[in-house]
Amino acid sequence: MKLDSKVPSGPLETKWRDYKRDMKLVSPNNKRKYHIIVVGTGLAGASAAASLAELGYSITAFCYNDSPRRAHSIAAQGGINAAKNYQNDNDSVYRLFYDTIKGGDFRSREANVYRLAEVSTSIIDQCVAQGVPFAREYGGWLDNRSFGGAQVSRTFYARGQTGQQLLLGAYQALARQIHAGKVKMHSRTEMLDLVVVDGQARGIVTRNLVTGKIESWAADAVLLCTGGYANVFYLSTNAKGCNVTAAYRAHKRGAFFAGPCFTQIHPTCIPVSGEHQSKLTLMSESLRNDGRVWVPKSTEDKRPANEIPDDERDYYLERKYPSYGNLAPRDISSRSAKEVCDEGRGVGPTGLGVYLDFRDAIARDGQDVISRKYGNLFDMYQRITGEDPYQSPMRIFPALHYTMGGVWVDYNLMSTIPGLFVLGEANFSDHGANRLGASALMQGLADGYFVIPYTLGNFLAKQPKTSVDTDQAEFKETERAARERVTRLLSVNGSRTVDSFHRELGKIMWEYCGMARNEAGLKKALELIPPLRQEFWENVRVLGGADDYNVSLEKAGRVADFLEFAELLCHDALDRKESCGAHFREEFQTQEGEAKRNDDDFCYVSCWEHKGENKSPHLHKEPLSFESVKLATRSYK
Amino acid sequence: MLATTSVGRKLVMAVTGIGLFLFVVGHLAGNLLIYAGPDALNAYALKLKEMPYVVWPARLVILSIFLVHIYLGLELYRQNREARPDKYFQEETLRADFASRHMLFTGLMILLFVVYHLLQFTFHAVPPPEHIYTTDLKGKEVTDVYTMVVQGFQTGGVSAIYILAQVFLALHLSHAMTSVFETFGWTATRFRGYIEKVGPIVATVICFGYITIPLAVLTGNLRLPDSVIEQQALEEMETNMIDVMPDPAGRRGDQS
Amino acid sequence: MNFTVMVWRQEGPKKQGRMETHKVSGITEDTSFLEMLDILNEELIEKGEEPIAFDHDCREGICGACSLHINGVAHGPENTTTCQLHMRSFDDGDTIVIEPFRARAFPVIKDLVVDRSGFERIIEAGGYVSVGTGGAPDANALPIAKDEAEEAFDAAACIGCGACVAACKNASAMLFTSAKVSQFTHLPQGEPERHQRVVNMVKAMDDAGFGNCTNYQECEAVCPKQISIMNIHTMNREYVKAKLAGTSATA
């Protein structure tokens, strides 16, 4: 199969405009005859469902939570980028585009990223009109801050809860359409599989999590807005329910999966406190503006932090990266933390942590100033750890946070299965090998509000409308397979809990495919995962029945998919023999320990095709060509 | 129509509550005339009596307000109970004070008291006093309200009922007065501290105003007029004379 | 640390429920409350008993999914969401009583999981600005005083967990509803629909079967996001204004 990114021709700056001009339209009175399924109602899904319903399409939407308002987009703290140039600091669409593509270490598609930067400004307009309470200056104008090492202030924010406010904005737009009867919302419902009819995505099979009812839904197109797969590592900053099932099921039905090894690690999370740990909590990176990162110089030094004199502390980020210091990019500061911990200098009960110390900042600015800036983060830290960060330094450690990889999509956000569109974190498109801060919210909303309403219409208008029915054999067959899988999970009746498998998988992934990867480790992971998967199917214990609210069953289905998907991720990491963005292969680094990218051999998007159960996935390459930017090496020295 | 929604019902509760509150204030102002002496109070009572075209409609209005207030109060209580059909196994109270949690109880106590109060002082169906005196006011023979009140409160038990009722009224008002501001949304955050004190302070003042009267009677600061004391002495003699026979009216001989 | 956990078990909607007692031992004080339940659940599964169902997702205090009534208080003793509560807030040997949020409008689905879709109906009835995608003017075309924006944010911080309903002795949803009404009252974007919004949302709230507000302030006391009852004042004021303007509920 030939991969066609469908990037329109013409100059980068006018591609999207010219392309839209040439698109076909669905006439207003025909729109309601088109049924669209939206799976997942976070930022991308809710904004897409609402916008499409406003246009007149008939939407059926699904989410696994009890309300769309609980999607994990809600947890994004920092902000959302937009090239508004309100600060007159010479920001522009081009600059946002360039920062994003450079931040992604040149592993994303130029045209997509440019479009993202272009529509970023409309997102802010839209959200303000919805009543999203962005931070404002005293004059009443919108406030901006600089974020994620950007040289301009283009980040719009709503205290530390920007994701929450943007999600609620999209959720409310969705609620309005539900009220108007244009969207049929099914919460506490999970997609189990995709239905492909005549090579096109024409529906899904779902399980009602309350009643256990397995059902088919037919449509003219299916939108997956199901988020990322960071939970393949078990411990991550994602919500407990986040999963890869919908995306992976689509992958098994023929959608290529792109760049799964691009997984982002966030440097400032609260360290693991013990075996019981169920998830990790992120603390805003802004802490690094005033906190100094250090570990003891000696591995023997077990004194409390405050008793360690300055000359026996190693402020390793300041030492290694004098110009950026504690503000070194996410991947660099994460890896440095891992290094010092690997040397045995990590702090805290598990030895997996480094200090983030505000002593000097408090001495310089006073506790009041620090408390005004970071009060809520300090409170959160104290609530979780029981330690007072005003008195002793915080302990932090990197954690899995975001996944840049996802289902491969073309310029229209359509996957390799016609009619299957993928939006937001679930697709691979815009962040390349690494995502910049405050760009996730931007991408989710860009896809949902300003891209899919156009590209979907174009897709639908270009082909004759055909009808499908859930009574068709393809639906019946997919439904049967889904039922069978549920029955199988319930009938294993082994001795290990689902969580114990998930934890073990997470440990393998973190150990061999985490912050730094190497060939031997990845091969080891590929050796360990299949037997674990086999044991799962032979020894998992899922109690309860198929026809009621069964949490273990839910989890089991998701973990079963993670157990397969993990292998795909490792394959991808093994194939990419270069270090780029968040993917760091220890074999490929400079003498100073910096990532060494290989543009000659790896300037492509890895697109994996599923070849069948227990068969190695097949790699397709979408070459990346850069017309407007020159490939540069990142340097933060 | 308003009363079909929760906020609407609360508004009606508040409006009727304000009406009743104004009545309570007016009534108190009238009562306090007792300190100006028998003639002032009796003149006030007479004035009311001489304006039936004002008093009766007013009474009807107050009665209907009262009934609406009671009906809606019971209705709210029923709805609120139905809103949580399954009770908690363990339920703590963090903020709600005694007054707020016992509005129905204090309200019903006030209702009982009002019935008793009307039976005693308006319909004279329940003693004390056994006998309603008349007095001469500027040449007119009028009901001696002053004496009636003082006689009424001279019984410790009766005064206790009145004092207790005023405590219930105070509790009821202290929550009601603050809640009125919530119901109408008459506040801004910066005034919140004051608003939350308004209820308890006003309630205490009103309660104190009412309670002073039985207290003044019990402590001898409000006394019967001399003319009545003479008349009573006379009657007592008569009573002693006929005491050998049972009294069909149930008057008790030990009354002093 | 060791605990005795008394927990509500109910097989399904409309089934008879009961309190069940379990021992959990060897819990460290850094364990979160939900992790303690995870541990208990693992033990139950190993014993062949069905795990206790409870709602949770983000486990960082923002999604609003977790909803346990602990020792008589919604979200337990720390004025946080349940997921942010840690076992160090309890004493070794404590008996901990865990119940679902209880209200007619929040029927139990299973064990500690309740159906909060009444909240959805309230937002659907008018908790938004009716603006379609694409029609918005430039974001800075509309300056908004910082104080107003901040007050709007304070109200908008609601996470829709339902603790206000759970704590209210009348199971009233006034705090939840008023927070959304109040957010838009503080913003010019909310102006055109202000009358219709408040009237429709109050109707949806009533239809969902919540109780009435009697100003107990229990809701504010348990709200993990410190939503102020002053929002209820604001909503009531808006309601009076809307009614005086002759607005009645649509649909």
Instruction: Pull the structure tokens for residue C59.
Output: 């486990």
Chains B and A touch, using 3 or more CB pairs below 8 Å: no
DSSP category for residue A589: B
pLDDT reported for residue A632: 84
Instruction: Pull the structure tokens for residue A436.
Output: 């910049």
SS3 A391: coil
Strands of the sheet containing A406-407, edge to edge, are A406-407, A257-258, A604-609, A618-623
Contact C100, C69 (CB under 8 A): yes
Identify which of A410, A411, A439 has the alpha carbon closest to the alpha carbon of residue A425: A439
How many CA atoms lie less than 13 Å away from B177 in the CB half-sphere?
Answer: 23
What φ, ψ does residue A208 adopt, rounded to 5°? -75, 115
What are the start-end ranges of the E strands in A163-315?
A: 183-186, 189-197, 200-208, 214-218, 221-224, 257-258, 263-269, 292-296, 313-314
Identify which of A169, A171, A172, A174 has the alpha carbon closest to the alpha carbon of residue A50: A174
- What H or E segment, with its residue span, contains residue B59? helix B52-82
pLDDT reported for residue B243: 57
Q: Tell me the helices (H) and strands (E) count for chain A, helix number first.
A: 18, 20
Q: What is the pLDDT of residues A458-482, one digit of tens each?
A: 999 999 999 999 999 999 999 999 9
pLDDT reported for residue B12: 95
Residue B256 has pLDDT above 50, yes or no: no
pLDDT reported for residue B248: 52
Q: At what angle do helices B156-184 and B192-218 cross, to 10 degrees?
A: 160
pLDDT reported for residue A635: 67
Q: What is the pLDDT of residues C230-244, one digit of tens each?
A: 999 999 999 999 999
C106 touches chain B (CB under 8 A): no
Distance between CA C32 and CA A271 in Å, rounded? Answer: 14
Q: Tell me the helices (H) and strands (E) count for chain C, helix number first.
A: 8, 7
List CB contacts (< 8 A) between B93 and chain C: 169, 218
B18 touches chain C (CB under 8 A): no
Identify which of A403, A429, A398, A405 has the alpha carbon closest to the alpha carbon of residue A242: A403
Mean pLDDT, to the nearest integer, of B143-157? 92
- Residue B177 to residues B189, B200, B201, C241: CA-CA distances in angstroms? 17, 8, 10, 21
Residue B254 has pLDDT above 50, yes or no: no
Mean pLDDT, to the nearest integer, of B17-33? 96
Distance between CA A541 and CA A492 in Å, rounded? Answer: 7
Mean pLDDT, to the nearest integer, of B145-160? 93
List CB contacts (< 8 A) between A241 and chain C: 57
pLDDT, greater one: B143 or C51: C51
A354 CB-near residues (< 8 Å, 6+ apart): A293, A294, A295, A337, A340, A341, A346, A347, A395, A396, A397
Q: What is the pLDDT of residues A315-329, one digit of tens each?
A: 999 998 888 888 887
Does B225 sit behind a cis peptide bond, omega within 30 degrees of 0 on the bond before it?
Answer: no
Question: What b/e readout covers A565-596, taking b as 16+ CB neighbours within 10 angstroms?
Answer: bbbbbbbbbbebebbbbbbbbeebeeeeebbb
Contact A230, A402 (CB under 8 A): yes
Distance between CA B227 and CA B235 in Å, rounded? Answer: 12
pLDDT reported for residue A210: 97
Q: What is the pLDDT of residues B53-71, one digit of tens each?
A: 999 999 999 999 999 999 9
A563 CB-near residues (< 8 Å, 6+ apart): A501, A505, A529, A532, A533, A536
- The Cα of C28 is separated from the nearest Cα of chain B by a number of Å equal to 26
List CB contacts (< 8 A) between C138 and chain A: 125
Confidence of residue B188 (pLDDT cuts 50, 70, 90): confident
Preferred mutation among A276, A277, A280 to probe C, highest tally of C CBs within 10 A: A276
What φ, ψ does residue A550 adopt, rounded to 5°? -130, 95
pLDDT, greater one: C75 or A320: C75
Question: Torsion angle, CA of A193/A198/A201/A205, rounded to 10 degrees?
Answer: -30
Q: Are strands A257-258 and A354-357 parallel, antiparallel or unpaired?
A: unpaired
Contact A410, A429 (CB under 8 A): no
C218 touches chain B (CB under 8 A): yes
Distance between CA A595 and CA A634 in Å, rounded? Answer: 9
pLDDT reported for residue C37: 98
Residue A330 a catalytic site member:
yes
List CB contacts (< 8 A) between B92 and chain C: 71-73
All structural domains of chain C: 3-113 (3.10.20.30), 117-244 (1.10.1060.10)
Query: Residue A492 CB: number of other CB atoms within 10 A?
Result: 16
Confidence of residue C114 (pLDDT cuts 50, 70, 90): very high
The single-letter code of the amino acid at B58 is: A
What φ, ψ does residue C5 adopt, rounded to 5°? -110, 120
Identify which of A569, A572, A262 has the alpha carbon closest to the alpha carbon of residue A429: A262
Does B129 sit behind a cis peptide bond, omega within 30 degrees of 0 on the bond before it?
Answer: yes
> Of the candidates A70, A134, A495, which has its C-beta nearest C64's C-beta?
A70
Q: How open is the CA angle B104-B105-B106, to the nearest 5 degrees?
A: 95
> Of the candidates B82, B84, B94, which has its C-beta nearest C102's C-beta?
B84
C18 touches chain B (CB under 8 A): no
List CB contacts (< 8 A) between C10 and chain B: none
A511 CB-near residues (< 8 Å, 6+ apart): A521, A525
**The domain made up of B2-82+97-239 is a member of CATH 3.40.190.10:** no
Distance between CA A144 and CA A134 in Å, rounded? Answer: 9
| Sequence spans of domains, chain B | 2-82+97-239
Question: Is C51–A552 a contact, with Cβ atoms under 8 angstroms apart?
Answer: yes
Instruction: Pull the structure tokens for residue A518.
Output: 């190497």
Chains C and B touch, using 3 or more CB pairs below 8 Å: yes
B103 touches chain C (CB under 8 A): yes
Q: Identify the chains in contact with C, defined as 3+ C-beta pairs within 8 A.
A: A, B
pLDDT reported for residue B162: 96
List CB contacts (< 8 A) between C244 and chain B: none
> Of the candidates C103, C169, C215, which has its C-beta nearest B182's C-beta?
C215
pLDDT, greater one: B76 or A429: B76
Confidence of residue C138 (pLDDT cuts 50, 70, 90): very high
- The Cα of B10 is separated from the nearest Cα of chain C by a number of Å equal to 8
Q: At what angle do helices A519-539 and A473-492 cross, to 10 degrees?
A: 90
Helix ranges (H only) for C71-162 are 117-124, 146-156
Can you list the residues of chain A whose pLDDT is less than 70?
1, 148-149, 634-637
pLDDT reported for residue B237: 84
pLDDT reported for residue B246: 55
Beta bridge partners of A265: A400
Distance between CA A510 and CA A501 in Å, rounded? Answer: 14
Q: Which of A109, A202, A330, A517 is catalytic?
A: A330
pLDDT reported for residue A149: 67
All structural domains of chain A: 267-400 (3.90.700.10), 473-613 (1.20.58.100)
ipTM: 0.98
> Of the candidates C205, C230, C232, which has its C-beta nearest B189's C-beta?
C230
Contact C164, C221 (CB under 8 A): no
Confidence of residue B252 (pLDDT cuts 50, 70, 90): very low
Query: Residue A600 CB: number of other CB atoms within 10 A?
Result: 7
Region of poorest pLDDT, from A589-593, B152-156, B214-218, C184-188: A589-593
Question: What b/e readout covers C99-124, taking b as 16+ CB neighbours within 10 angstroms?
Answer: bbbbbbbbbbbbbbbbbbbbbbbbbb
> Of the candidates A50, A279, A449, which has its C-beta nearest C59's C-beta?
A279
First to last CA, chain B: 55
C28 touches chain B (CB under 8 A): no
Mean pLDDT, to the nearest integer, of C117-127? 98
